[in-house]
Amino acid sequence: MKLMSGNANRPLAKAIANYLDAPLSNVEIETFADGELFVRIEENMRGEDVFLIQSTSKPANDHLMELLICMDALKRASARRITAVIPYFGYARQDRKTGGRTPITAKLVANLIAKAGADRVLTLDLHAGQIQGFFDIPTDNLFTTPVFEQDIRRHYDASDLMIVSPDVGGVVRARALAQRLGADIAIVDKRRPKAGESEVMNIIGDVDGRRCIIFDDIIDSGGTLCNAAAALKDHGAAEVSAYITHGVLSGKATSRITDSVLKELVVTDSIDVTDKAAVCAKVRAVSIAPLLAEAIRRIANEESVSKLFD
């Protein structure tokens, strides 16, 4: 087994390598003056089982091209199997046609990854589970539920917790965490007047006096999350926190979080935490390196990955 990383999230890749007690392979990634990328792998990869770790986080297009070019280099270096480990799969929110003459970019990216040479994909909390079907190669979608469950049990008394889905589409995700904790669930009924904006219409469930935890897969600008937190407080919630897998945190997200009623926002390190988020008192990160590392070890040893969640 060989581990290799692009530049999207080197700290996470190093943490995975440390967990597995396996070094990261040497790779040279350069950018030409016009923005073109060049990759040179500085180790023999012939016949190797290679795990390439690369999120497609901001700048999404640059990191996606890094991923594709690295896989092409591995394929031409005669690697036996290439597993694309993509902790954060960008473009996942574009998983269906939202109107006339619009793309399904998640499917396009899945095609590009397979065509570039990936034999398998390992990812984390896809925005929609059906995106697995966009790939024509084996795809493992891991869940952060066990990681968040452990962290919640360390920091919260589960007796009065309520897990909140920020929309109807996230109910299955919220219910899975609630069942592990023995907690109730509530749902935020909202509508989106346009992309990037949301309006809370109602709260389904009695949150009065409860400590609420909003559980979701992605936080981008933070507007939707802050609106949901304010609505929960207006309906009597004692306090509101949030556990979100992928902390994109673009634009003024951290300032919105700071000024919001949220007690804290917990994200994973699937995306390298931005400088603003790192100094934000309300933002805390937990590592998913052990989860990804164990999945990598199981794939390399041809063991079951699904048993991680039994």
Give how many domains the chain has, as a whole number: 2
Q: Are residues 106 and 207 in the same domain?
A: no
Q: Which of 14, 58, 107, 190 is catalytic?
A: 190
How do beta strands 120-124 and 239-247 pair?
unpaired
Whether 190 is a known active-site residue: answer: yes
281: Cβ–Cβ under 8 A, 6 or more apart, which residues?
Answer: 258
Strand partners, 154: none
Q: Are 285 and 127 in contact (CB under 8 A)?
A: no
Q: Are residues 31 and 114 in the same domain?
A: yes
Instruction: For residue 128, give the nearest of 203, 13, 50, 216 by alpha carbon.
Output: 216
pLDDT at 275: 73
Strand partners, 51: 3, 83
Distance, CA of 246 to CA of 12 (rounded, Å): 13
For tokens 């909003």, name the residue.
214
Distance, CA of 68 to CA of 227 (rounded, Å): 37
Distance, CA of 76 to CA of 225 (rounded, Å): 44
* Rg of the chain on CA atoms, in Å: 20
Q: Are residues 226 and 251 in the same domain?
A: yes
pLDDT at 198: 62
CATH code of residue 46: 3.40.50.2020
3-state secondary structure of 245: strand
pLDDT at 140: 97
Q: Are residues 153 and 249 in the same domain?
A: yes
pLDDT at 195: 59
DSSP code at position 24: B
Q: Are residues 27 and 124 in the same domain?
A: yes
Residues tagged in the binding site annotation for ATP:
34-36, 93-94
Biggest CA-to-CA distance, the chain: 61
Distance, CA of 238 to CA of 209 (rounded, Å): 5
pLDDT at 279: 83
pLDDT at 276: 73
Q: Are residues 218 and 99 in the same domain?
A: no
pLDDT at 56: 95
Q: Are residues 295 and 281 in the same domain?
A: no
Q: Are residues 193 and 247 in the same domain?
A: yes
Q: Are residues 281 and 295 in the same domain?
A: no
Residue 41: count other Cβ atoms within 10 Å of its Cβ. Answer: 20
Q: Are residues 90 and 155 in the same domain?
A: no
How do beta strands 37-41 and 27-31 pair?
antiparallel
Strands (E) located in the chain: 2-5, 27-31, 37-41, 49-53, 81-86, 120-124, 139-142, 161-165, 184-191, 199-204, 211-219, 239-247, 265-268, 283-286
Distance, CA of 30 to CA of 65 (rounded, Å): 12
pTM: 0.94
Residues tagged in the binding site annotation for D-ribose 5-phosphate:
192, 216, 220-224
59: Cβ–Cβ under 8 A, 6 or more apart, which residues?
Answer: none
Instruction: For residue 272, give the nearest of 39, 50, 54 by alpha carbon.
Output: 54
88: Cβ–Cβ under 8 A, 6 or more apart, which residues?
Answer: 55, 56, 57, 124, 246, 270, 271
Strand partners, 247: 219
pLDDT at 277: 81
* Burial class, 133, CB count within 10 angstroms (exposed 0-12 / middle 13-18 / buried 19+): exposed
Distance, CA of 137 to CA of 114 (rounded, Å): 7
Residues tagged in the binding site annotation:
34-36, 93-94, 127, 167, 192, 216, 220-224
pLDDT at 88: 98
Q: Are residues 30 and 16 in the same domain?
A: yes
Strand partners, 53: 5, 85
Q: Are 94 and 60 in contact (CB under 8 A)?
A: no
pLDDT mean by block of 10 residues, the chain; 310 residues: 96 98 97 96 98 96 97 98 97 92 97 98 95 96 96 92 92 95 92 63 92 96 91 95 96 93 97 83 96 98 93
DSSP code at position 23: P
Owning domain of residue 92: 2-142+290-309
pLDDT at 190: 74
Residues tagged in the binding site annotation for Mg(2+):
127, 167
Q: Are residues 13 and 36 in the same domain?
A: yes
pLDDT at 310: 79
pLDDT at 172: 93
